[in-house]
Amino acid sequence: MLSRSAACLYWMGRYMERAENLSRIIEVGFRLSQIPEWEGSGPAKIEWKSSAVAAACAEGLLAKHGEANLESVIAYIALDENNPSSIYSCFKAARTNGRTVRTALTSDMWECLNDTWLEFNSRWLETLNQDNLWEFLDWVKIRTNLFRGAILGTMLRDNSFAFTNIGTFIERADNTARILDVKYHILLPPGEQLGGALDYTQWVTLLRSVTALGSYHWVYRDSIKPWNVAELLILKEQLPRSLVYCVSRIERDLLSLNEHDGQRHDCHRLAGKMYSQLNFAKIDDVFQNGLHEFLNEFLTQNELLDNAISNNYHFYS
């Protein structure tokens, strides 16, 4: 397979996954901003800033709009053409990458990418505001779910499939870690009680944002406890957005590439190492050493893995 094609598939997977996560992050902000206890419970309302931080575009948003609020988040994270991490840019980049490797996509996949982009432009670009924000966020979720369905339901299980998935899961792992980190460090205002009502609502919102509230109850049959939420999102392989699930998928897809040529690269070693660390970790140890530190270390490792994959498969030769 052409290296350039592999890179395009990888990035197509990443961008579609990012678009989905951006909408989830905005959803968290939107839900949090509606929590009544939040009023007067801290300096400025920071739930929108936390969204911007989770989306890794706080700096750009503040530079352009001054403050993070509903309007600026919609303008910058959903619609901004100049923000490379906006939903707009993600859909556009996913389509451009897909178009470059159309030969590797099934027609269902391509039509989903193309329709999404066309509909974004004709339906949302000019009209999106706070009144139809829910509808929009649902739409993004439907489109990305549809795309994933097209991949799972129609794509040959070959290298194209593997590279698309690897990109998807690298991105998802990154996003899950960020979402979790935001809750832990940014959201609880000084003076608020850990485990208080506000804290509780925030954890619930976070679980909802990754569509894992129901799963939480099935797994723990317990009220919402921070360490359980963290464990679910980091160490429970049943949960398809957990870090350990993402890394297990990356490792498996990397190995499937390996079957053809028997080559073992740095990325295989790194993914294997990350997987066994997560697989054997206990949530107590994670908290002992600091959740934030753990997540930061994970994000660094994930980025190294991304670099290794790019180098080993000659993405930029």
Q: Measured from the CB of residue 96, what is the shortest distance to other proteins in angstroms?
A: 7
Q: Report the C-alpha gap between 99 and 12 in whole angstroms.
A: 10
Question: How many other C-beta atoms lie within 10 A of the C-beta of residue 283?
Answer: 18
Asked if 6 is part of the footprint of other proteins (rule: CB under 8 A), the reply reads yes
**# residues near other proteins by CB under 8 A:** 27
User: Residue 80: CB partners within 8 Å, gap ≥ 6?
Assistant: 64, 86, 88, 89
Residues in CB range of 27: below 8 A, 6 or more apart: 137, 208, 209
- Is residue 300 within 8 Å of 177, Cβ to Cβ? no
Residue ranges in 81-100 that form contacts with other proteins under rule CB under 8 A: 96, 99-100
Q: Does 102 bind other proteins (CB under 8 A)?
A: yes
Q: Which is nearer to other proteins, 102 or 208 (CB)?
A: 102
Name the residue nearer to other proteins (CB basis): 94 or 278.
94
CB of 121 to other proteins, least distance (A): 11
Q: What minimum distance in Å lies between the beta carbon of 159 and other proteins?
A: 7
What whole-number distance in Å separates Cα of residue 283 and Cα of residue 279?
Answer: 11
State which of positions 143-202 bind other proteins (CB under 8 A): 159, 163
What is the sign of the dihedral through the CA atoms of 172, 176, 179 and 181? Answer: negative
Q: Is there binding between residue 107 and other proteins (CB under 8 A)? A: yes
Nearer to other proteins, 1 or 186 (CB): 1
Binding part of the chain for other proteins, among 83-91, 104-112, 183-191, 241-249 by CB under 8 A, reads: 104-112
**Cβ neighbours around 145 below 10 Å, total:** 12
Q: Is 313 in the site for other proteins (CB under 8 A)?
A: yes
Report the C-alpha dihedral over residues 26, 64, 183, 215, rounded to 10 degrees: 20
CB closer to other proteins, 33 vs 96: 96
By CB under 8 A, residue 111 contacts other proteins: yes
Residue 297 has a CB neighbour count (10 Å cut-off) of: 14
Q: Should residue 118 be labelled a site residue for other proteins when binding is judged by CB under 8 A?
A: yes
Confirm or reject binding of residue 317 to other proteins (CB under 8 A). yes
Q: How far is CA 90 from each of CA 19, 62, 67, 113, 140, rounded to the nearest angstrom?
A: 6, 20, 23, 11, 11
Which residues from 199-258 bind other proteins, rule CB under 8 A?
A: 257
Q: Would you count residue 3 as binding other proteins (CB under 8 A)? A: yes
Are the beta carbons of 120 and 91 closer than 8 angstroms? yes
Of positions 115, 199, 237, 266, contacts other proteins by CB under 8 A? 115
Q: By CB under 8 A, name the binding residues for other proteins.
A: 1-6, 96, 99-103, 107, 110-111, 114-115, 118, 159, 163, 257, 260-261, 263, 313-314, 317
